Amino acid sequence: MDLFIKILFIVLFFAVTIFIGFYCRKKATNSNDFVLGGRNVGPWLSAFAYGTSYFSAVIFIGYAGSFGWAFGVSAFWIGVGNAVVGSWLAWALLGRKTRIMTQHLNSSTMPDFFGKRFNSKGLKIFASIIVFIFLIPYTAALYNGLSYLFNVTFSASVPYWVWILIISIATGAYVIVGGLMSTAINSFIQGLIMLVGIALVVIFALNKNGGLMGSFEALATGANGGWQFASLFGPDPVHLIFVVLLTSLGCWGLPQMVGKFYSIKNENQIRKGSVISTLFAIIVAGGCYFLGGFGRIFANEKSATIIPDMVASLNVVVVAIVIVLVLAASMSTLSGLVHTSAATVTFDLIDINKKLPEKKKMTWLRVLVVVFIIVSAGLAIFQVYGPQALTKDIASLMGISWGAISGAFIGPFFYGLYWKKTTKASVYASFISGILISVVSLVLSLAGVNAKIQGEHYLWFDFADSIYMGVLAMVVSFIIVPIVSKFTKAPLNANEIFACYEKMVVVTSDVALTDDQSELVDEYKETLSIKNKASDKVVFENSSDETTIDAKEEINV
């Protein structure tokens, strides 16, 4: 009976996701709609797509268990950092400017942004190669996390490779058929499942030890615990800070994350999206890491399977919901990764000269979605069944991926949005430094080299640890871009590109504005410097749309 309930929940979940894919097929008839959803995605869908791409099975199984064991309940600060820096601050600093400039440049991907912003085809190709290569460890970590859960909840009654095959087919089906809109709607539903699932697991798991206070006491006095694991900053605050930085600041440079800002309907939706995304992050990430902090109560040794072990002992319905939760988290992230990879290779490598017919672009996009899913699934199966010496734990795989990509992109992308004098040479310097630092970390780790800087009480830095080196790569990126830019020549078209922030929208007011429109005008009086240019006109500064809009229509700012 227990097995039947689990299978029933999984079948219903797959049925809904595939149905949505076919429902959205009419909204993916051209490459722009397939990749960007016609730049018409609302704040709820955009925020949930951002959140579900951010938090996959890796956080629930790999990160929450590993870091919860290492830091105790202070691991909750990782969730706080993800919410404040990785979500709210990312939307506040990057959202609006990304939406305006990418629309102005007509760029669909991050490599395309670099190519057009710095007038360099070489940068575009280089960035595309980085995305293609270093998203592979991310995808491998994603599938790796699923293997742990299924081994625990199904007791190997269903082989791991079968689950990989099922998930790959289901994800491929709705991405290929429905494109971005299908991915966005599915991410919204999958996000709701994640919110409910996390809440249930936290409540039921803590209740097994007498509730919140009982769990704190059990953690502080248990054989595997101690008061340091129940304290505010935990036993290793330095390492904790590095983890917070990597998992929070790192998403600023990830193409599958930043790409969510490209497709949002208009700039007015950015603020709404930031609030929704932040709340989603504090519940999902905060809940996962907080629960992981009590892992020492449920396990006798550090393991990525701590959270699945907790879940396995709960009510079968809760277990079934958690299985669907992890599937939802995994499929939403997987769809975002393969969607980003396919778009990058199609637009930035195959159609680099922009001469490919629309029909062929759509064919390439769909074929490449299949290719990337096959490659990622094959790598995942190899990780489980291949030589153990070639595999890495989930946290290391994520660190390599995030460190290399964000270490290469974060500085150039941020300065590219804000600073006219950012140069092409500085972008190349950041790309090279990000890759070199990540590769050095990987080599030292595989070679087993002891490259630690040890303090009296804490480990200050580890050159063989992808988490420390990933943060170093991002810091170097932020530093190297302005330094190199000071000694190299800025693009000649920088003033023209930044003019997009100064465009105006003229809205006629010869008829009464609706209540919603009046509220919108009041809301933007300070931030957009609205001026009465004439008795019957209102000028909106700093908007991305130059068209004149009749007051009877929705004001688009």
Q: Is residue 213, in this structure, part of any structural domain at all? A: yes
490 and 458 in contact (C-beta within 8 Å)? no
What are the structure tokens assigned to 319, written together?
């277990």
| Residue 67: per-residue pLDDT | 85
| Residue 34: per-residue pLDDT | 63
Provide the 8-state DSSP code for 60: I
Q: CATH number for the domain including 323?
A: 1.20.1730.10
Cβ contacts of 229 within 8 Å, gap of 6 or more: 71, 72, 73, 74, 219, 220, 235, 293, 296
Residue ending a domain, choose from 333, 361, 385? 385
| Residue 320: per-residue pLDDT | 78
Cα separation of 476 and 226, whole Å?
Answer: 37
142 and 330 in contact (C-beta within 8 Å)? yes
Q: Is residue 484, in this structure, part of any structural domain at all? A: no
Q: How far is CA 341 from CA 131, 191, 436, in A?
A: 7, 22, 22
Cα separation of 175 and 186, whole Å?
Answer: 10
Determine the residue type at 191: G
Residue ending a domain, choose from 363, 385, 407? 385
Q: Is residue 290, in this structure, part of any structural domain at all? A: yes
Q: How many CA atoms lie within 13 A of 476 on its CB side?
A: 22
Q: Is residue 264, in this structure, part of any structural domain at all? A: yes
Determine the residue type at 448: G
| Residue 12: per-residue pLDDT | 85
373, 518: one domain: no
Q: Is residue 291, in this structure, part of any structural domain at all? A: yes
Q: How far is CA 137 from CA 77, 166, 349, 389, 445, in A?
A: 25, 20, 21, 16, 15
262 and 95 in contact (C-beta within 8 Å)? no
| Residue 31: per-residue pLDDT | 67
> In this structure, are strands 459-462 and 452-454 parallel, antiparallel, or unpaired?
antiparallel
In degrees to the nearest 10, what's the CA dihedral of 202, 208, 213, 217? -120
Residue ending a domain, choose from 359, 385, 411? 385
User: Which residue shows structure tokens 């299985």?
Assistant: 323
Q: The domain containing residue 114 runs over which residues?
A: 2-385
The pTM of this model reads 0.79
State the CB neighbour count (10 A cutoff) for residue 222: 15
Cβ contacts of 400 within 8 Å, gap of 6 or more: 134, 137, 392, 438, 441, 442, 466, 470
CA neighbor of 264 nearest in space, from 273, 255, 251? 273
Cα separation of 136 and 531, whole Å?
Answer: 50
Which residue blocks in 250-345 are alpha helix, DSSP H? 255-262, 268-292, 295-298, 306-312, 316-345
Q: Is residue 197, in this structure, part of any structural domain at all? A: yes
| Residue 133: per-residue pLDDT | 83
128, 259: one domain: yes
State the CB neighbour count (10 A cutoff) for residue 334: 28
Cα separation of 437 and 445, whole Å?
Answer: 12
Grouped pLDDT means (10 residues each) for the chain, 557 residues = 76 80 68 60 79 76 78 91 94 90 86 91 90 77 64 64 77 73 75 82 80 83 77 87 91 87 75 89 89 80 65 73 74 73 77 76 82 78 59 61 90 95 96 92 81 77 84 95 93 85 58 50 48 44 41 38
What are the structure tokens assigned to 457, written together?
């009480």
Cα separation of 519 and 336, whole Å?
Answer: 35
379, 524: one domain: no
| Residue 53: per-residue pLDDT | 78
Q: How many CA atoms lie within 13 A of 391 on its CB side?
A: 17
Q: Is residue 137, in this structure, part of any structural domain at all? A: yes
Provide Rg for the chain, Cα atoms.
Answer: 24
| Residue 394: per-residue pLDDT | 57
Q: Is residue 416, in this structure, part of any structural domain at all? A: no
Angle, vertex CA 135, rays to CA 132 and CA 139, nearest 5:
130
Which sign, positive or negative, has the C-alpha torsion 442, 447, 453, 456?
Answer: positive
Question: Structurally, how many domains does the chain consist of?
Answer: 2
